[in-house]
Amino acid sequence: EEYSRNGLQGPMNWYRTREINLEDEIPLAEKYPSWQFQVPAMIVMVGHDPALPPELTDGMEKYFAKGLRKEVIPEASHWVLIHTPTEVNKLIGEFLEQFL
């Protein structure tokens, strides 16, 4: 229903503003070079996305004081929630069970 109203305008805005976002974030990164998220986190990457390969997460764990769980769904592409919803929901459920 939402897609029929706005199409991909919302998701595409992230790509349209990425340079502006980067410019806003660089001063923060320079001011707080050792800052870390204080909550556990998980990132789900995919095997078939030339723009966002799993290797982009290498070293990312240093920004998460409570840990970063990294998962890869090898058969999925950029739209992982559309292509493999069952697998993604299983990973999210397993992650949340640790804390609930």
Give the chain's mean pLDDT. 92
Task: Output the six-digit token pair for 6.
Answer: 């706005």
CA of 62: how far to CAs of 22, 39, 58, in Å?
A: 20, 13, 10
Residue 2's pLDDT is what? Answer: 65
pLDDT in tens, 42-65: 999 999 999 899 999 999 999 999
Tell me the C-alpha distance between 66 and 39, whole Å.
5
pLDDT the model gives residue 5: 78
Q: Is the model's pLDDT at 87 over the cut of 90?
A: yes
